[in-house]
Chains A and B, each alone.
Chain A
Amino acid sequence: MEGLLVTETLIVIMVTVATVVAIVVRRFRLPYTVSLVLVGLFLSAQRFAAIEVELTPELILAIFVPPLIFEAAFHLDLGLLRENLTPILVLAVPGVLAATLLIAGLVSLGTGLSFSTAVVFGALIAATDPVAVVQLARRLGVPQRLAVAIEGESLFNDGTAIVIFQIALTAALTGVFRPVAGVVDFLTISLGGLAIGGALGWAGAQLVARVDDRLIITTLTTLLAYGAYLVAEQFHFSGVLAVVAAGLLSGNVGLAHAAPTTKIMLFNLWDFLAFLANSLLFLLVGTSVDLAELWISVGPIAVAVISVLLARGAVIYGLSWLAHVGKGTPHIPLEWRHVLFWGGLRGAISLALALSLPGDLPQRDTLLSMTFGVMLFTLLIQGSTIQFLLRRLGLTERPPHRVEQEEKLARLFTARAGLDRLQRLHREGLITDEMWGGLREDYRQAQQQLIREINDLFTEHPELERELLLQARREALQAERGALGDALRRGLLAEDVYEELSTDIDYRLEALDVIEANIQEGWTGKED
């Protein structure tokens, strides 16, 4: 009982720290995950005993990773993934293999580690981390296809990295390297994981289609995330790939049959679970780092960082041509390659693999320090500077007319607030009638001018007006939903009437999403 309370207290403290970080970070430009790592580092340096958790590979892989990967795969559009499958697979399979060997060669040369040990490091550090990378892609608001490429690569390259890691580790420990058996293992572990995850995801999708109960469906997806991982690992297949397949199928096939109310609940639940797992994981990553120990290995860490960057560069710029062999247009524009290169963050998966290294592996501590060093470099340096790169490349810039619209609407909004305030001052007798009259006229003219300018903008870009109408309708529907909830709480409505009306609103909200997506694809631009 006491142990349970200690664990509960620990979780409450960590969630409190993460929440405070999340609130504070809203005022700064620093990414949330980077801030969590920094706070973790600070707490570790202060020897803050309240958060002393041993970060084991099992804790990372079996507890934190499944919900994070499931949530990412659950949101990923299968159609878009299919369209970008070739570049994703090129980067996730030959890309990881090439990066492993390049890193191994450079690290072996730079640090004097044996090549077989360096290959183990190359494998565990080669794959970009889905957790860190997915967060990055979402936060930055990059073009959708680029986000899919980034997320897809990071979700699928773990399978390759984990298998290469296992083969390399066996070779380093036994001195025996069997390439054919390695390829067979790779295929078995990867395809086995995908098959198990796919089968469970498909079964889950069928149940979702038949069970019209959002609580059961929500529970089912939670079971899928952890169940797919555990079942695949039980059969010695890739648990990570099983979760990816299960998430993709339940998110795409399963959700196609779910009612909008269920979808809203599922998305909210998975957003919350991912936020929680992400917060705790990155906080613990920070607290696990001993900066004093890292400083001792600063030389090998520097070599590792340079090797990882060079290998990533070689893969991204060198192998991308494979993705569009035989086709006229390049699949990965040069600007996107810069983003893929600098956005290749390493995190939880690399850390879990490094922590799982057996004690009798030569130079284990050096490999651990190098992993922590590379992870910190990519999370702190690359993670906090990539937004500048994106801005420089013009990938996150909004068209000037959208910025202008926001600016003018904001001015109109603030002018109305100012006028309301003046009216109150006048009512309370704090300004004279003449002053109120003069100020009101000035505000009225300013508002009319703004309305004229907004109208001119809508004449040039009527799509802005259409989008604003959709947005306004969405807000109105959400307010209607809120009012329904109030009416239910006040006993003005029976539960069944509430259910019926709120489902209708959810359908309408979904309809607006469909309309918006089709406007973007040009459906409603048929004739003006």
Chain B
Amino acid sequence: MGRVVCATRGGEASRRTQQRAIDLAKERDADLVFMCVVDPEFAEHTDEVLEQALRDELIRLGRSLLCIAQARAEEQGVEAETVVRCGPVAENLKTYLEESDAELLVIGTPAKERTTEVLGPENVEELADAIEKSTDVEVIVVS
């Protein structure tokens, strides 16, 4: 049985991305994993205690978002696991995809007009290309 990994962080396209991953897991009869990578890079200039609190809170926020996605999948008859990782996004994604022997990554991208997103559509496309080239995992980008 294959494994579909859905990378999600509660951003603009997250619900669509999660739904697509649920549909694909059903279609392929694959295991589904909702994954969230939190990167507290922006907190690096704050003091150590605050940095630790930020890391913890980001992880808790990520875990809550994944639990919501998991419950949503279960409502549709799909069992899902959740994984939260902390650190650089691309590295963590690649490592987990290799570790878990995943066959498909579903990732979302903000709409083109959403200029506030730091990683815009082009960056997500680049990330998807890089993952496809460096691993055997198929990547679907949902916008």
Q: Is the CB of B50 within 8 A of A510?
A: yes
Main secondary structure of the interface of B (DSSP, over half): helix
- A477 to chain B: closest residue by CB: B57
Cβ–Cβ contact B109 & A527, under 8 A: yes
Given known A526-B118, A528-B108, contact A515–B61 (CB-CB < 8 A): yes
Instruction: Tell yes or no: B138 within 8 A of A by CB.
Output: no
Number of B residues, CB within 8 Å of A: 44
In the complex where A510-B53, A524-B9, A528-B11 touch, is A466 in contact with B118 (Cβ < 8 A)? Answer: no
Which parts of A464-497 form the interface with B (CB within 8 Å)? 465-466, 469-470, 473
Report if A528-B50 is in contact (Cβ < 8 Å); known contacts: A462-B15, A465-B10: no
Give the residues in chain B near A521, CB-CB below 8 Å. 116, 118
Kindly identify, within residues 101 to 136 of chain B, every residue whose CB is under 8 Å from any CB belonging to chain A: 107-110, 114, 116-119, 123-124, 127
Given contacts A462-B11, A518-B42, A521-B116, contact A511 B109 (CB under 8 A): no
**B53 vs chain A, min Cβ distance (A):** 4
B84 within 8 A of A: no
Q: Which residues of B contact A325 (CB under 8 A)?
A: none
Interface assignment of B56: CB less than 8 Å from any CB of chain A = yes
A400 near B: Cβ within 8 Å? no
Flag if B9 contacts A511 (CB, 8 Å). no
Chain A: CB-nearest residue to B50: A507
Chain A residue with the shortest CB-CB distance to B49: A507
Interface residues of B in 6-36 (CB under 8 A from A): 7-17, 19
What is the interface size of chain A, counting residues whose CB is below 8 A from a CB of the partner?
30
In angstroms, Cα B116 to Cα A463, docked, is 12
User: How many angstroms between the C-alpha atoms of A526 and B12 in the bound complex?
Assistant: 10
Q: How far is the CA of A523 from the CA of B58 in the complex (A)?
A: 12
**B11 & A515 in contact (Cβ 8 Å cutoff):** no
Residues of A within 8 A of B119 (CB): 525-527
Q: Is A448 an interface residue, CB under 8 A from the partner?
A: no
A527 proximity list for chain B (CB < 8 A): 7, 9, 11, 89, 107-109, 119, 124, 127
A463–B12 Cα gap in the complex (Å)?
6
**Docked CA distance A488–B49 (Å):** 24
Whether B15 and A515, one on each chain, are in contact in the complex, defined by CB atoms closer than 8 angstroms, is no
Given contacts A511-B56, A511-B57, contact A525 B110 (CB under 8 A): yes
Per-residue 0/1 for A411-444: is the Cβ within 8 Å of any B Cβ (1 yes, 0 no)? 0000000000000000000000000000000000
Contact A528 B8 (CB under 8 A): yes
Chain A residue contacts of B117, Cβ below 8 A: 522, 525-526
Q: Is A528 in contact with B12, judged by CB distance below 8 angstroms? A: yes
With contacts A473-B61, A512-B57, A522-B116 taken as known, whether A528 is within 8 angstroms of B13 at the C-beta atoms is: yes
Shortest Cβ distance from A522 into chain B, in angstroms? 4
Chain A hits for B68, CB < 8 A: 465
Q: Across the interface, do B10 and A466 meet the contact criterion of CB distance under 8 Å?
A: yes
**Which residues of the partner chain A approach B38 to less than 8 Å between Cβ atoms?**
524
A335 at the interface (CB under 8 A from B): no
Chain A residues near B43: list those with CB within 8 A. 511, 514
Residue A508 lies at the interface, judged by CB distance under 8 Å to chain B: yes
Residues of A within 8 A of B123 (CB): 526
In the assembled complex, the CB of B76 is this many whole angstroms from the nearest CB of chain A, namely 12
Say yes or no for B140: interface residue by CB 8 A criterion: no
Q: Does A504 contact B (CB under 8 A)?
A: yes
Report A448 CB to chain B, min CB distance, Å: 12
A392 to B14, CA, bound (A): 34
User: A463 CA to B13 CA in the complex, in Å?
Assistant: 9
- Nearest A residue to B15 via CB reads A459
Nearest residue, chain A, Cβ from B51: A511
Inter-chain contacts of A470 with B (CB < 8 A) = 61
What separation, in Å, do the CA atoms of A43 and B107 have in the docked complex?
66
Closest to A528 in B: B108
User: Is A267 in contact with chain B by the CB < 8 A criterion?
Assistant: no
Residue from A465, A466, A473, A528 in contact with B57 in the complex, judged by beta carbons closer than 8 Å: A473
Q: Which residue of B54, B64, B114, B142 contacts A469 across the interface (Cβ within 8 Å)?
A: B64
The yes or no answer to B39 lying at the interface (CB within 8 A) is: yes
Taking a contact as CB atoms under 8 Å apart, the answer to whether B61 and A528 are in contact is: no
| Smallest beta-carbon distance A464→chain B, Å | 10
Given the interface pairs A458-B15, A459-B15, the reply to whether A524 lies near B10 with Cβ below 8 Å is: yes
Interchain CA distance A459-B56 in the complex, whole Å? 26
- If A526-B117, A527-B119 touch, does A515 touch B58 (CB 8 Å cutoff)? yes
| Sample of 16 further A-B pairs with CB below 8 A, known A507-B50, A527-B108 | A260-B50, A462-B14, A466-B61, A473-B64, A511-B56, A511-B58, A515-B54, A520-B116, A522-B118, A525-B119, A526-B9, A526-B123, A527-B124, A528-B10, A528-B109, A528-B142
Q: A residues engaging B (CB < 8 A)? A: 260, 458-463, 465-466, 469-470, 473, 504, 507-508, 510-512, 514-515, 518, 520-528
10 A-B contact pairs sorted by A residue (CB < 8 Å): A458-B15, A462-B15, A465-B68, A469-B64, A473-B60, A515-B58, A522-B118, A523-B118, A526-B119, A528-B13
